[in-house]
């Protein structure tokens, strides 16, 4: 079910002029090559837990930089950058902490996008 949902949401996101503009740059690919995808996944968990998981994240709407880490780029591409985008695109309600299942979904969505970008970077 989740894979089908991730595939469907990635198709929908690709139709957004704003979301479809995000792509990994050479420096992001180098970073992934140096760290490995397992470390990138752990960074995604860390970022989501620290920046999005609480009911009212600090600086919500501006907490995710537009560059500087592959996960940040993926968050904007996948509309997982703030609680407003999570609500609009993923129907994850604002004002309540994220569940572990929601965190897993978000990280899996981010990593699926990164995997696709990484494979297509050759």
Among candidate residues 107, 68, 62, 104, the one with its CA nearest the CA of residue 85: 62
Residue 18 per-residue DSSP state: T
- What pLDDT score does 1 carry? 46
Share of the chain above pLDDT 90, in %: 82
Whole-structure pTM value: 0.93
pLDDT tens digit sequence for 62-114: 888 888 899 999 999 999 999 999 999 999 999 999 999 999 999 999 999 99
- The answer to whether the beta carbons of residues 114 and 40 sit under 8 Å apart is yes
Cβ pair 94, 102 in contact under 8 A: no
Closest by alpha carbon to 37, among 99, 122, 90, 116? 116
Choose among 41, 24, 32, 27: nearest CA to 109: 41
């Amino acid at each position: 079910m989740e894979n089908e949902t991730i595939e469907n949401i990635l198709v929908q996101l690709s139709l957004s002029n704003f979301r479809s503009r995000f792509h990994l740059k050479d420096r992001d690919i180098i970073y992934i090559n140096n760290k490995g995808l397992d470390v990138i996944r752990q960074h995604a968990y860390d970022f989501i837990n620290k920046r999005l998981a609480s009911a009212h994240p600090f600086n919500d709407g501006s907490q995710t930089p537009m560059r500087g880490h592959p996960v940040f780029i993926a968050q904007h591409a996948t509309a997982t950058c703030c609680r407003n985008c999570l609500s609009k695109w993923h129907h994850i309600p604002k004002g309540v902490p994220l569940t572990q299942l929601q965190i897993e979904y978000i990280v899996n969505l981010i990593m699926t996008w990164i995997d696709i970008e990484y494979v297509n970077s050759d």
